[in-house]
Amino acid sequence: MLTRRRMLQLAGMGTAAFSVPPILTAARASDRFLELTAGPSRKKLYRNDAAESELWTYNGSSPGPEIRVRVGETVKVRLFNNLEEPTSIHWHGIRIDNAMDGVSGLTQPAVPPGESFDYEFVVPDAGTYWYHAHNKSWNQVARGLYGPLIVEEAKPAFSRDNDLTLVIDDWRLNRDGSLDVASLGHLMDWSHGGRFGNWLTVNGESNPEIQVVRGQATRLRLINAANARIFEINPGRFGAKILAYDGQALSKPQIPAYAPLLLGPAQRMDLLVTPDDDFLLEELSGDDPYPFARFRTVEGDGTQHSAGSLPVNAIPEPDLDNARVVRVDMTGGAMGRMVQTVYQGKILSGEDYPRTGQLWAFNGVANLAEEPLLAAQRGETIILEVFNDTAFMHAMHVHGHHFRVIERSGATIDDGDPWRDTFLVGPEQTVRIAFVADNPGKWLFHCHMLEHAAAGMNTWFDVA
Ligand code: C2O
Ligand code: CU
């Protein structure tokens, strides 16, 4: 088994030029749809002399094209499905109209092969978001179906040259360097920490070299597109500050209070770096630091082209004094307690329920139940009190809302109460999050370790 601590080093590090995914800009004030075609394509993920991988991509590239719009604009995307199985697209982190959330089986039927679906929604908040397949995500995202969705400020705070998107993924490669598809769905991954890869890419390239301008305030938008890996990075090593988490700007750029910082699956972190020298971005979760992007400093014209800070989005503030507290106990998985679990309406003993393919549960229920986890009145403040009674860390994502992390048991460092759409919760830890349930519809709450979601860590709530 490949573990989180064992990032396979197949051979020497590849090097590649930094490639920016093709950019699709919304045609303003027109009814033209951007087209995203999900389909098979071939790509070398590893070195040039290695085998090609059979990927599933949007418009032939993984990551798919960067969709770049201005805050408040309407995004229109026509999805064509050229895959052999149904699919849909979720717009991760967007406080979106429920019908456009892209969750197969909850907000829309999955789009069958050969058919299309029109997404049309307003983006209310500036920031770094992403889109990805939301049908059998553990399979479709692992094969490459994701891309960046960048919502610019009304007046962009960074010039385009100083605004870099870095979509990070870890792929599980075979010995010949091709994507290991045979191990997709392995029970060992599903019952443990999820599917880990053994090769990191940034925008689909191995250890790219990226040019930055000396002395110029530069924004790095990091997006974790991995199925399960929590990246560990130390922005302090190159003097960077934190601008935003999960799309939401902090009130001012923050010096990280500790290191390494964790970037869980689906999470984003925008960094502010003003380079005076070359530097490396390293992944620190393995035994040795693993450099995955190299920044080369070049001379600029000396004038500052970027603001160096961001305006804060207007998200309704939770009313903690009048909040409803809803408890979520997370159970299951390897080395976890075996508890009686309900799946598809049937009560199963701790020994029996793993035979259904379900391995995890929230409050004793595996996967989506008939009844929602909670039914909120529109405008009500909800506190989710999430207790992780498993042996693994999880990356919990709320659809359609951003929340504040208001409490973490056992935390020795106060990192404030930032807005997030995905939070990490460690074994034996309780995390409390608060949000105003102001977006009507049926919303998922699930682990973004995609194998965990598929194997039970998936529930939903209703806002009337
Ligand atoms: Cu990014 Cu339900 O997902
Ligand atoms: Cu999980």
pLDDT values of the chain reduced to their tens digit, one per residue, 464 residues? 233 344 444 333 444 555 555 666 654 435 689 999 999 999 999 988 899 999 999 999 999 999 999 999 999 999 999 999 999 999 999 999 999 999 999 999 999 999 999 999 999 999 999 999 999 999 999 999 999 999 999 999 999 999 999 999 999 999 999 999 999 999 889 999 999 999 999 999 999 999 999 999 999 999 999 999 999 999 999 999 999 999 999 999 999 988 999 999 999 999 999 999 999 999 998 788 999 999 999 998 888 888 888 999 999 999 999 999 999 999 998 888 767 788 888 887 777 766 777 889 999 988 888 899 999 999 999 999 999 999 999 999 999 999 999 999 998 877 789 999 999 999 999 999 999 999 999 999 999 999 999 999 999 999 99
Atom 3 in ligand 1: residue holding the nearest Cα: 92
pLDDT at 72: 96
pLDDT at 24: 65
Spatial CA neighbour of 315 closest among 249, 384, 397: 249
Give the strand pairing for 341-343 and 346-348.
antiparallel
State the residue for tokens 């682990």.
447
- Among all ligands shown, which has an atom nearest to the Cα of 460? 1
Distance of CA 397 from the midpoint of ligand 1 (Å)? 7
Give residue 22's Cα distance to chain centre. 20
Measured in degrees and rounded to the nearest 5, phi and psi for residue 140 equal -70, -40
Distance of CA 173 from the midpoint of ligand 2 (Å)? 22
pLDDT at 353: 67
Token readout for 222 is 């990091």
Q: From the CA of 446, give the closest atom in ligand 1.
A: 2
Give the strand pairing for 290-298 and 279-283.
antiparallel
Burial environment of residue 346 by CB neighbours within 10 A (0 to 12, 13 to 18, 19 or more): exposed
- Among all ligands shown, which has an atom nearest to the Cα of 394? 2
Handedness of CA 427, 433, 439, 441 (dihedral sign): positive
Atom 1 in ligand 1: residue holding the nearest Cα: 92
Give 424's DSSP letter: E
Number of residues assigned to the chain: 464
**Which residues lie at CB < 5 A from ion ligand 2?**
394, 447, 449, 452
Kindly calculate the radius of gyration of the chain based on its CA atoms and give it in whole angstroms. 21
For Cα atoms 226, 227, 230, give the angle at the middle one, nearest 5 degrees.
60
Query: If phi over 0 gives left and psi between -120 and 50 gives alpha, with beta otherwise, what is residue 344?
Result: left
Spatial CA neighbour of 241 closest among 200, 275, 267: 275
Give the strand pairing for 365-366 and 375-376.
unpaired
Distance of CA 381 from the midpoint of ligand 1 (Å)? 22
Distance of CA 365 from the midpoint of ligand 2 (Å)? 15
pLDDT at 347: 82
Residue 295 half-sphere exposure toward CB, CA atoms < 13 A: 23
Ligand 1 pocket by Cβ (under 6 Å): 90, 92, 132, 134, 266, 397, 399, 444, 446, 448
CA distance 123 to 207: 32
- Among all ligands shown, which has an atom nearest to the Cα of 452? 2
Any bridge partners for residue 460, and if so which? 444
| CB of 225 closer than 8 Å to CB of 167 | yes
> What is the identity of the amino acid at 323?
A
> What torsion, rounded to 10 degrees, do the Cα atoms 134, 136, 140, 142 define?
110
Distance of CA 447 from the midpoint of ligand 2 (Å)? 5
pLDDT at 201: 95
In the three-class reduction of DSSP (H, G, I as helix; E, B as strand; rest coil), residue 84 is classed as: coil
pLDDT at 116: 97
- For the chain, the helix, strand and coil percentages under 3-state DSSP, each to the nearest 5: 5, 45, 50
Strand order in the sheet with 23-25: 23-25, 66-70, 146-152, 127-133, 89-92
| CB of 145 closer than 8 Å to CB of 38 | yes
In the three-class reduction of DSSP (H, G, I as helix; E, B as strand; rest coil), residue 157 is classed as: coil
CA distance 222 to 240: 13
| CB of 128 closer than 8 Å to CB of 165 | yes
pLDDT at 11: 36
Q: From the CA of 422, give the closest atom in ligand 1.
A: 1
> What is the H or E stretch that residue 147 is in?
strand 146-152
Distance of CA 309 from the midpoint of ligand 2 (Å)? 33
- Encode pLDDT of 419-454 as tens digits: 999 999 999 999 999 999 999 999 999 999 999 999
Q: From the CA of 130, give the closest atom in ligand 1.
A: 1
